Amino acid sequence: MADGEVILVLTASAGAGHNMAAAAIGEELRRQRPRLAVEVRDILTVCGPLFRMICRDGYDALVRYAPAWMSTLYEATDRAAQTPEEHFRRLVQAAGKSPIERYLCRRRPRLIVNTHWLAAEIAAGLIRRQRLNCPQVTVTTDLETHKIWIQEPTLRYYCATELGRTYLHTWGVPEERTRVTGIPVRAGFVSPPTRDEARRRCGLRADAPIVLWLCGNAGDTPPRAHLEALIDMPADADLVAIVGRQAKLQAVLERVARAARRRVDVVGFTDRMHEYMAAADLAVGKAGGLTVSEALACGLPLVIIHPIPGQEERNSDYLLEAGAAIRVNHVRLLGHRVSELLADPARMEAMRQAARRLARPDAAADIVRDVLGMTGL
């Protein structure tokens, strides 16, 4: 794609959700405007290895080993006053952002669509200094927003919820530059298959309750403990464990599954998540913005455990208040709470209806339509 002609969809792989939202936006841009050149880029792939390690591995380490510090950092950067944590963050960014700035200036995009605040912050700095001459828009990826997403100049902010939009207004973002759209999900979630069809495609039993376990970062609790708790639960249900690209963990969990007293399917990386979610009766996992949005699109009740302090705890609160989720505070209670829920069809149906009310599966299409109409591309 020639420099000066491309639309850049920028993300940063500190957490997988930002990349998934960027992919959804890229797909939709190509669908609505096939003549346009669209490039989806993780900005951490064009920076130096040290900065990449700090942003990506540092985030994972905080989540896994220092969740209390993660909470402190999240709250400290969500204040009006300049805190020591915010000052340190800016120093680290200043030391590592130069390769990203050079990349953006070389590409000279016609438009930038951000699904991570770091990309928005770096692009906004270049635009203010007149090193870039293009508009940018930002797609937030949690149910509530955070001050760090506000990076000016930004033509428009796309928010998951009215609550998130209102929060931006409290920081002075004009109402006309915000839209409530939901969080972009991939095309498979726009019209997911029926439950029976999804089970057939995934090779799952049609007549058994299905619990989908989404194996994310579980803090200081080993993932194996979560799976064993679900295997030992009183309810009669089949389990599907999605472990992603964690090959070593997959091998460990497959050994656990072979010895289990119930059917357990352990699945590595898959592009069929919409089918597994459509097939399941409920999902167990964390409360990342993309995971939540995908589950809501499938009308899937959520059992939240170990949400990341900060953004995932706020997501969790939003879902609990709406009646689309329950929260389990310790793995020792996980099997009991899941069994309790499966034994209560009326409550399960109420949670499914709550999830459907919150769902915004057309978010990507709505965002792209608005962007194209606003910019005339």
Query: pLDDT tens for residues 346-370?
Result: 999 999 999 999 999 999 999 999 9
User: In DSSP terms, which residues pair with 246 in a beta bridge?
Assistant: none
**What is the set of domains in the chain, with CATH numbers?**
6-185+361-375 (3.40.50), 191-358 (3.40.50.2000)
List phi, psi (to 5°) of 24.
Answer: -65, -40
pLDDT of residue 233: 97
pLDDT of residue 54: 85
How far apart are alpha carbons 157 and 177 in whole angstroms? Answer: 6
pLDDT tens-place string over residues 183-212: 999 999 999 999 999 999 999 999 999 999
pLDDT of residue 219: 57
How far apart are alpha carbons 114 and 45 in whole angstroms? Answer: 15
Amino acid sitting at position 13? S
Residue with tokens 């209806």: 353
pLDDT tens-place string over residues 125-167: 999 999 999 999 999 999 999 999 999 999 999 999 999 999 9
Instruction: Give, as one character, the DSSP assignment of residue 177.
Output: G
pLDDT of residue 70: 83
pLDDT of residue 149: 97
Cβ contacts of 157 within 8 Å, gap of 6 or more = 137, 138, 140, 145, 149, 150, 165, 168, 173, 177, 178, 179
pLDDT of residue 69: 83
Number of C-beta neighbours around residue 156 at 10 A? 20
Query: Is the bond into 209 cis (omega within 30 degrees of 0)?
Result: no
Q: Between the CA of residue 207 and those of 199, 289, 370, what are the distances in Å?
A: 10, 31, 43
In the predicted model, residues of the chain with pLDDT beneath 50 are none
State both tokens at 212: 């989908």
How far apart are alpha carbons 229 and 350 in whole angstroms? Answer: 25
Q: Between the CA of residue 205 and those of 208, 212, 255, 264, 280, what are the distances in Å?
A: 6, 13, 21, 11, 11
Cβ contacts of 103 within 8 Å, gap of 6 or more = 41, 43, 46
